[in-house]
Each structure stands twice: as C-alpha cells, then as structure tokens.
Amino acid sequence: MAEPVLEIRNLSKSFGALKAAVGVNFDLMPGEIHALIGPNGAGKTTLIHQIAGTLTPDEGEIRFLGKDVRSLSVAERARMGLGRTFQVSSLAQEFSALRNVMLAVQARQGTSFRFFRPVMSDPSLTEPAMAALQRVGLQDRADVPAAELSHGERRRLEIAIALALEARVFLLDEPMAGMGPDGSRELTAFLDELRHQAPILLVEHDMDAVFALADRVSVLVYGRVIASGPAAEIRRHPAVREAYLGEGA
C-alpha cells in the first residue's frame, strides 16, 4: 500500500486554557484531496500552521514524506515541498505577478548570487515562473502588480507560487473564500486537476466545493476530529450533520 505523504499523529496544541488541537490524527495519501471541515474556531488553521511550521505543537508527530519535520523551520519545510497558501494573502503586493513567482523559483533554487544578469531577464528564473503562471491561467497578467489583481487571480497566483516551489503537497486554507460562484467553479475545476501534481489538504467552508473535490473528509470540532472517512460517508454521518451542518440527526 502507498505510504502517506503527510502523517499527523496525536497532535495537541493549547493556547492557555483553549484546546485548539486534541490528539489529532490525519493522513494525506498520494493523489488525494483530503478536506478538513469544521465550524469557525475549530482549529483548522491552527493545524495548518503546525504542519507548515509557523506554530509548534505541544505534543504529537508530523511526518512529511516519511520524515519527522518537527525540528525543521518553515523555510526548510517549504524547501522539502510543503506548499502552503494562506488565509490572508502573503503576496508581495507591489511586485508583479511574475516577480512574486520568481521569488519562489529563487527560493526553490536556493540562495545564489547573480552578479552578471539583472534578475528580471534571467531565464533560469523567468521561464519556470512563466510556466507556473501559465498553469494557473495568469500568463497575460504577468506584469500586473499583485495588488491590482482580482481576488480570484490572487488565489491563483498563490497556487502558482506553490507550483514554482515544486510543492509535494498543497496546504490550502480556504481557497474559495471571497470568490463569487463563477470563480468558485473555476477554482474547483483547477484544484481537481492540481491533485495530480500533488495531494491537497483542503480547509474549506464551501461545502459544494468540499463535496465536489474531496476523496476524504475529516471533521474538526473544538480541536477534535469527530469523524473522518470517504466524502459520501461523512455527508451522511449523523454527528456531522448535527454538529457541523446544523441539522437534527
């Protein structure tokens, strides 16, 4: 059987008295989209922060590609291929779309000094960056500053950055947030294709997108996984309908 790309074991994290993760177990298998759903404040973003390395767990294990990554920095994890998009955009707003992706290409290639060539005309940076922009359909917007892109375009730019980092896994935190229905449909189709590149941990409130995309769904409530399984099963799960979808069982 295939090995999980990402394995979370007994992860716990508290902020004072508040338990944001309580013994969380979670796997991401090659090729799959595993959605993490749950009410506001359930601890979904906190879990992504712990995987990416911006928060340290109190207890538990995080294994990525078979390696325990708890002692690695955010940058080291990113270099291993932990590709993350953020709930709040982390783009360099004044830089063009192309420049934003080039920074990721440069980060991927490691620090190198380029004395002889201005960065913007260095094909070892511009070519992979343009290829990533093309994958997300932003090739015609390459020169536009990130700040002037639409919300949906910025989301796609973040994915282009993860592509340029040659992500081995995508951690997507509410990619549908702020999208209109057309944008959501477009992004859903795109993510469906993106899974072939690397598996996706999808934190999302848009249930149409979740049930259209996810192979598996885990439900987090007050830091605990209350149900986890194939999407069709989770949709029918009485505890999920009651606790999360707000219906009587």
Ligand X SMILES: Nc1ncnc2c1ncn2[C@@H]1O[C@H](COP(=O)(O)OP(=O)(O)OP(=O)(O)O)[C@@H](O)[C@H]1O
CB 160 within 8 A of CB 138: yes
Q: How many residues bind ligand X, per CB under 6 A?
A: 11
Check binding of 46 to ligand X (CB under 6 A).
yes
Half-sphere exposure of 215 (CA within 13 A, CB side): 14
What's the token pair of residue 60?
């538990």
Q: Which is nearer to ligand X, 24 or 91 (CB)?
A: 24
User: At closest approach, how far in Å is the CB of 203 from ligand X?
Assistant: 7
User: At closest approach, how far in Å is the CB of 20 from ligand X?
Assistant: 4
User: At closest approach, how far in Å is the CB of 43 from ligand X?
Assistant: 4
Q: Which is nearer to ligand X, 41 or 238 (CB)?
A: 41
CB 51 within 8 A of CB 44: no
Which regions of 30-127 does DSSP assign to beta strands (E)? 33-37, 59-64, 67-68, 82-85
CA 235, 240, 245, 249 torsion-angle sign: positive
d(CA 59, CA 48): 15
Residues 3-42 that bind ligand X (CB under 6 A): 15, 18, 20, 38, 40-42
**β-bridge mates for residue 62, sequence order:** 8
Q: Which is nearer to ligand X, 103 or 240 (CB)?
A: 240
Measured in residues, the chain has a length of 249
Check binding of 45 to ligand X (CB under 6 A).
yes
Q: Which is nearer to ligand X, 18 or 239 (CB)?
A: 18
Q: Pick from 4, 43, 53, 81: which binds ligand X (CB under 6 A)?
A: 43
User: At closest approach, how far in Å is the CB of 187 from ligand X?
Assistant: 18
Q: Which is nearer to ligand X, 108 or 224 (CB)?
A: 224
Bridge-based pairing state of the strands 6-15 and 18-28? antiparallel
User: At closest approach, how far in Å is the CB of 174 from ligand X?
Assistant: 7
CB atoms within 10 A of CB 2: 8
Q: Which is nearer to ligand X, 46 or 96 (CB)?
A: 46
User: At closest approach, how far in Å is the CB of 144 from ligand X?
Assistant: 29
DSSP H helices, 110-180, are 123-135, 151-164
Q: Pick from 33, 35, 44, 149: which binds ligand X (CB under 6 A)?
A: 44
- Provide the binding-site residues for ligand X, judged by CB under 6 A: 15, 18, 20, 38, 40-46
